[in-house]
Every structure is written in structure tokens, then in C-alpha cells.
Structure 1
């Protein structure tokens, strides 16, 4: 990636000059979208697959981002990534998950072949070619840089980009402490949203919308007005609860969250939490909250260990590695921790006003517990009632917002609660301006600061 001085930011179209105002054209302008395609996506680490999708040698899957396609193969030497294109005339070689251990890959055009290591094994009509165009490096599949974290393979088309770990920053340590590498899929859904990819992400980068969009969560939140203030009626919500009511409402909230996400708080965890309704409670409601979470961590951890799950030490990790309910990994991946389970999101652009949105429910499962792990997402319409309640509520807003932005000049952000939107959007400007890799790496570490962050100084 060529580097430019900070003055190059002035040439970025629809650049963010006030961090509280996001130009609306960034969500639908064709030229801005093409700049992202040319200057952002080729230089960032992208979550390409979960390693459990390709558990056996020879297993492969395909990751697609706009015009680019990558094959990820579990080889005898570990997972490798290659560009999904025949070295003869460019045909796509793979179109979904499979196993290439026996047959390798065969181009349907002229029959060129490659083994599971990406090595060419057959050139049809070899004697018709000059040998100099058939040198090994010219006919093996083109390798793509790959790195591993949190049970996933990440790819980067830029060989000079900082390492994955350097790009992630401290969020990697927070999630490592929670054994993110041991998470396994419960389910995996995908949908095409009639929404710009950035707009789709932003619905999950702040909790400011919870009272209106997710009233079922607000209704079971202890001291619900504390975070954002009262609603239009000015009435307090769940204020002045006694200690027993407080404990029961914490259970209600976590159960409602688990139900609304069909995960995040796993069913096995909710079952344990329900047993705490009768726990001994101190007379002070605030102390009751502390006592509840202490008991909850201990009980859920103990249950997981008894079932054979390699769970982390809840209380120790909560104290040493404070986490956010939504953790963001620039540019397009999220993990949502709560107890031991998590949800995950990945968002990929399709057109300026459409994207592909995937959701996983993840859990630390007992090591040898049999499970039919999905190798592809279940594809649903974005308004399908089969989606869990919480994403379904968010999805209902997004098409309306996408259309509405055509009639606005700016989106206006609350600096304390919606800062993450501004932070990552300004990082995109840095990529479009082709700022130096070290500056972008430091900014990325800041942007990966977690849910509901305030507007932060990202260094430019």
C-alpha cells in the first residue's frame, strides 16, 4: 500500500470533518464505495472462515469479498489460503465448501489440476506452451496471506500490512482470556440486507437505541434510566427495587437477552441462572447486584466444567480483562460476550446499498461432544421470522434508515454513546487517504475499543 501524508485526508470525498457529523453520501455514493473497494478492503484483515468449517485435511471453503474470491484449505501443513482462480484463463475453481483431498481442484475449462496444497499437477497440452510461462511459481495457485485468531482464519491481500495481532490490539487479549479460540458454532444464519455495509454494522455499535428498538430488554433492566435518561413520559423505569427484585430482574434480563439472541447467553447458562432466584441476598440492592454476579459466575463456570467444557475462570477474567457486551474488530467482525458463550457478526459489502450479514451463536462445548457443525450459513430473507427477536428488530430499522439517508446531509451522533460509529468511519478515511501503515495500525487498535465507546482521538 503506497503511503501518503495526512494532508491527503483533504482529498477524501465526503470526509468526516466534524466527528459528530457523518456525511450521508458515505452510505450510498458509488464513487465512495469504489474507493473502499480499491483502498480499504485489499489492505485489511478480514475474517474469512471459522476453522471448524474445515476440520479435516482436504476440507476447503470459499470466502468472497466483492470481486475477490479466496479458497481456504486445511492442508497437511495447516490451513492455507489461495486466490480462487485458474492460472491458465482465470476461471473460479471452487464455489462452496467441499473436500479436495482425493481429487484436488480441476478447472472445468481446460482441465488444469491442483492438489490440496495448491500445487499444479496437470497442464493440458503442456507442449503447446513456452516453458517460461509454466514455471512452478507461475502455475501454482496464488497464495494469500492468512493468520489465525479466536478460532478463525483471517486473510489479507496486502503482504506488507501489519500482523493480525498488531491490527487487533488489546481486544485480542480480552477475547483470548475468554477462550474465544475454543468457541464452537451452535448455528449460523446469513441474509442480504438492503443496506450499506457500514450502516448495517452501526446498528450494533451502540446501545443508545435499546429503549426504543428493544423495549423488551429495557423493561427488564435494573435502573433502566441510568444509562440514557428517561423516555418521553419522564417516568423512572425499574428504580427503587428491593434486593430480591433486583436479583430476579438480573435473571430476567439475561434470560431475555439469551432468548432474543438465541445465544449470547446460552440456554445451558440461562438454566443455571434460573436457579439463583432463591439465593441469599444482602439487604442493599447494589450489594445484591454484586452478590448475584459473583454467584452467577461461579455457578455457570462450575456447570460448564462438570459438563466437560474447557471454560475460563469467570471472576478472575472479569476482574483482569474487563470486556464490553459488543467487541468490534475492524473492519467487519464482532464478538458479543456475556457469560461463557458469545454471538458473532460478520458484514460484507455487496453494492453501495446492499450487504451480506451473518450471525453465529457460539458456545464452549465439551471437547468430545458430538455436534453437526454447519459448513454454510442458513440463508434467510432479512425479514424472516426465523431470525431471533433482537436482530429481527434491528433489521426492521435498517432498510428505512438506508432510504432516509438519501434525504439527509449528515447523521448526528451522541458523542458519549455513539462514538464508535465516528471512530471507525474516520479510520476508513485514513485508508482512503492511504496514510502510512503504522498510523492506521494504531488507529485500528483504538477503534477496536468496544461497545458504546465515546468519540476518541484516533491519531489523525
Structure 2
């Protein structure tokens, strides 16, 4: 078993402007992460809507562990290790609905509370130790909910969820994530370490190089910071939204309203699915654009954004959809992006959120799953249907069509970064200490867990 002593001291030397690349490619480091992070920390297993009715279950696999989340009662979400206590068979996969747990090997059964209700020929164990009811029930896993997410912790004696999640709710609850539900959910196989994938969505420093189509309508000047074990980044908005990036050396035009409408259209076309739903609802994009058509072109910032948001809210009210209305101060404090340690990335918008959750894939640190979810403020029966897909080859032309085009730009970067981590010419990573501080803080928190 890998221990701290098996890993060179260099791999734990983190500065705001330096990260050792071995942390992304070392099997020993990945093994330590498995035991010290994934077997210990609170992590998102699913959304509450995945287990919306009694008997609904969702399986969460992380490293060599598997957990079943199940709704055992109207207000009772539980989780159990996904294993039969008889001979160790995995009980369930994927998502579905049950009225009891059943082992397909020897037909042992349990109710939704995890209590054993059948052991075939139980009398054969008469006089044997470790066959009491508590010995043959399913082993419980701690659960907590926040923002519509179901979190699990595999450590029965670990920290409380309240301690873990602080201070995220203080800043993010105004977005009312718990009122949002799926538009689509993708799982993408990537040839990269889970941290490379997760970190791709922790900063906006990459916008100029990766998403140049955006810089004509947004000044991407930003900064990021650690927030305890979590992190966020935020834009300065020194130029109004709709104006070009300062890096283009162009003046702020008199008409930025048109630029803001084009900015919204890019979310529809590049971040949304075939219906335009992604980081925000297509409904809100179209309502805002319609309202902006009659706005004087010289309307100052942020007045035209206020008009657009009011139009979004009016349309949401008309169809009966929720619509968050945080104050200006709440929006400033929230920022545009959070990473809830270790692997819950939140990229927020007016009435939706893109969610990124990277997980190790097998024991090889060069592979991961990247879950990409869109959750939105839908009215009842408004969602055209949740599209779920597992993409094992994102370069395949047919599979690539399922991924919004903006995110294709990111997935390419992620895999090329992983290849570069193995280069003999690389002497360590040099994150921007202002715009990528969230990433260095992330690694400092990883150290906190690994060195316990």
C-alpha cells in the first residue's frame, strides 16, 4: 500500500505559481489520492431528481468503490455500499427503480432501508458468528444534500457536511440551484488525469487562447481565489459586457447592446444543445434578445443587462418557471465559477448552470471520466426531454455532435495537456498567481488531505 513515504517531497511543493507535474502522472500519487481523498471526502453522487420517487436509485462509482443512492421514503435519501455482504457481488449498476435490493447471485434481499429481509436457508448458519441482523444488512454511507445535489462520504467518522461545504452556500444559494433540473447529462471518457480535466474549468485565463470567438464581446479580465478548501473566480467588468476584450486594443463602442445580444447568441449556439439549452435556457436568451431589439443602442452598462434580465424573468413567470434574482452585491460576491472540492465545478448563468465533475477512470492516472451536466430553471413539462449519453470517443464525428462546440475546444486542450505532463522538458507547471490562484489553492487542499 502506497504511503506518504513512497512519494518524493518535491511532489508536495506547491506555490501560487508552481505545481509539480508528477502529481498528474504518478501512480503512487493517484493511489494516495484514492485512499486519502476519494475514500474520505464528501463528493457529489447524483442530483436529487435522479432519485425523485421512492425506490429510485442511482449508482455512483469512484475509483474501486461503488455506492447506491436510493430514495427510501418521501423525504428520506439513503446510500449504501454497492456490495452484497454474503459473497461480495456488486448489486446494481446505472439508474433505475426497485422496491427492494436483490442479489443476483444467491437471492439475498434487503428493504430500501438496507435491512436484510431474506437469507436463503439461514438456518444453515445456526451457531455461526457474524450473522446477526446488523451483520447482514447493507453497509450505510453518509449522505447530505445541498443545491439539489446528493453528496456522499465513504468515511463514517469523517468531518460533518456543514463543516465541509462552508462557505459555499453563503455565496451560491442565491442562484437557487435546488430549483434547477437537468437539460442534458454527458459522461466523456478522456485520456487525462482527473485534475487536468477539473482544472480546465477553474479559470478564464484560457479564454483568449482557447475560445477566441468570445473576445469580440467580452473583456475576460478576471481573478481567482481560494475560498477555504473551495475556490471561485470572477470578472472585473472594467469594460461593459458586449464590448471587445481590452487585448484587442479597440475602444469601447457606443453600441454595446448589439454586442451583448451577440454574446447571448453564442451561449445558444456554442454552449447549448440542439435546442439552445445549456448554461442558460433558450427561453431566456430569446426573451432577452427580443427585449434588446427596442433598447436604444447607447443605453449604458449595466442598464441594458437589467432590461434583459427583467425580460427573462417576465418570460419565466409567464410559463411558470423559477428564476433567481440575486442582488447586484450577491452576484458580485458569487462570481462566475466555483469549484467545490474536490470535483464539483459550477459555471453559473442567469437561470442555469453547467456542472463539471471529473473522476478517475481505473488505476491509471492518465485516464478519467468527465461528467458534464446542464441544469436549468424549467417550468413543469417544459423540458423537451433529458438527453443522457456516455461518450467513449469524443473525436468520433457522430459522438462529437453530442458535445456543445465550445466544450470540444476544452476537451482537446485537456488531452494535450496530459500528454505534455510526460515531457522530459517540463520542469513543473507555472499557474498564473492572479488568474489561476484557484488551481494552486486546489492543490494545497489536496496536500492537506494527503498529509493527514
Bin of the TM-score, shorter chain as denominator length? 0.7 to 0.9
Cα distance, 1:17 vs structure 2: 3.9
What's the counterpart of residue 445 of structure 2? 427
SS at the partner of 1:69?
Answer: strand
Matched, 1:128 2:124: yes
CA contact (8 A) 2:256 2:297 kept: no
SS at the partner of 2:429?
Answer: strand
Q: Deviations over 1:49-93 (max 9, x none)?
A: 111112211111100001100011111251100000101111101
Matched, 1:388 2:404: yes
CA distance in 1, matches of 2:246, 2:325: 39
Aligned pair partner of 2:415 in 399, 411, 432: 399
Aligned pair partner of 1:363 in 376, 383, 388: 376
CA contact (8 A) 2:14 2:443 kept: no
Aligned pair partner of 1:188 in 162, 166, 185: 185
Structure 2, unaligned stretches of length 5 or more? 223-234, 239-244, 273-277
Matched, 1:411 2:425: no
1:412–1:266 distance in 2 versus 1, CA, 3 Å: same
CA distance in 2, matches of 1:150, 1:20: 32
CA distance in 2, matches of 1:247, 1:222: 15
What do you get for the CA RMSD once the two structures are aligned? 2.7
CA contact (8 A) 1:186 1:361 kept: yes
Matched, 1:141 2:156: no
TM-score with structure 2 length normalisation?
0.85
SS at the partner of 1:294?
Answer: helix
CA contact (8 A) 1:24 1:405 kept: yes
CA distance in 1, matches of 2:328, 2:390: 33
CA distance in 2, matches of 1:198, 1:320: 27
Matched, 1:352 2:370: no
Cα distance, 1:16 vs structure 2: 2.3
Cα distance, 1:368 vs structure 2: 5.3
Q: Deviations over 1:250-288 (max 9, x none)?
A: 1211221342211113211110121233344485xxx71
Structure 1, unaligned stretches of length 5 or more? 1-6, 435-460
1:26–1:292 distance in 2 versus 1, CA, 3 Å: same
SS at the partner of 1:14?
Answer: helix
Cα distance, 1:223 vs structure 2: 8.4
1:173–1:393 distance in 2 versus 1, CA, 3 Å: same
Q: Deviations over 1:93-128 (max 9, x none)?
A: 101212111xx2222222211122211111122122
1:403–1:386 distance in 2 versus 1, CA, 3 Å: same
Correspondence 1:88-99 to 2 at 5 A = 88-99=86-97
Segment drifting more, 158-167 vs 343-352 = 158-167
Cα distance, 1:317 vs structure 2: 6.0
Aligned pair partner of 1:252 in 242, 253, 262: 262
CA contact (8 A) 1:224 1:237 kept: no
What's the counterpart of residue 317 of structure 2? 305
Segment drifting more, 84-93 vs 270-279 = 270-279
Correspondence 1:147-226 to 2 at 5 A = 147-221=144-218
1:147–1:301 distance in 2 versus 1, CA, 3 Å: same
CA distance in 1, matches of 2:29, 2:21: 11
CA contact (8 A) 2:57 2:95 kept: yes
CA distance in 1, matches of 2:237, 2:384: 41
Correspondence 1:247-326 to 2 at 5 A = 247-262=257-272, 263-281=278-296, 283=298, 288-314=300-326, 316=327, 319=330, 322-326=333-337
CA distance in 2, matches of 1:296, 1:311: 13
CA distance in 2, matches of 1:310, 1:227: 28
Q: Deviations over 1:121-144 (max 9, x none)?
A: 111221221354211110110000
CA contact (8 A) 1:83 1:144 kept: yes
Aligned residues: 416
CA contact (8 A) 2:279 2:352 kept: yes
Matched, 1:21 2:18: yes
SS at the partner of 1:322?
Answer: helix
What's the counterpart of residue 81 of structure 1? 79
Segment drifting more, 170-179 vs 326-335 = 170-179
SS at the partner of 2:263?
Answer: helix
CA contact (8 A) 1:385 1:392 kept: no
What's the counterpart of residue 111 of structure 1? 107
TM-score with structure 1 length normalisation?
0.84
Cα distance, 1:386 vs structure 2: 2.6
Q: Deviations over 1:2-57 (max 9, x none)?
A: xxxxx99x975601243311101000001001000111112211100111112211
